Amino acid sequence: MYQKQNSILNHKRVLKSMQTVQLSKLGQGSYILILHLKRTKIISIGKLGNLRFPQGYYTYVGSALGPGGLASRLKHHLHSTATPHWHIDYLRPRARLVEIWISEFEERLEHLWATMSTHLNETTRRFKGFGCSDCKCPSHLFYFQGQPSFQIFKKFVDSRSGKNGQLRRIVLA
């Protein structure tokens, strides 16, 4: 019961914050969820099985180029779901969403960002096969001991490709 109430409270908190960026007006694009896990946990992730998630921060890279675009996909990630659809749906209810980085660039940037994330100095672990069953990336989930820096990531992407599609940061209360 506590977890369900906490999830509902978090959802309301997140929606209030998201309204300032007019979530419903977002188009298609790519995104990075910044999650914080307070304590180390073992979580069952669908066909990947039981995985150990150390306390710390996680970035999950995705895209939303289909119907509904970013608005629909981010609404999905803001809710806990009874029937998980993606790998992130298993982790999401156990970790607090602290930031979302978005780009309304109409080109799929998730693979580029996932590749670049493996080269960031702060990245200490990636989870093989997480979130990338439909592509050749080794992972779309990355672990950081401390909170990842939006400015460092944006600068890194700009210096490597110039493709950030006006990367924006949404900080959640």
- Structural domain range at position 47: 2-171
Q: What is the dihedral of CA 120, 63, 12, 34, to 10 degrees?
A: -10
Nearest CA-CA partner of 115 in 88, 140, 150: 140
Say if residues 43 and 51 touch (Cβ distance below 8 Å): yes
Cα 37 to Cα 25: distance, rounded to the nearest angstrom: 30
Tens-of-pLDDT digits for all 173 residues of the chain?
333 333 333 444 444 444 446 777 889 999 999 999 999 999 999 999 999 999 999 999 999 999 999 999 998 898 878 889 899 999 999 999 999 999 988 888 899 899 888 877 677 778 888 998 888 889 999 999 999 999 988 888 887 766 656 788 988 86
Cα separation, 111 vs 138, whole angstroms: 10
Q: Domain count for the chain, please give it.
A: 1
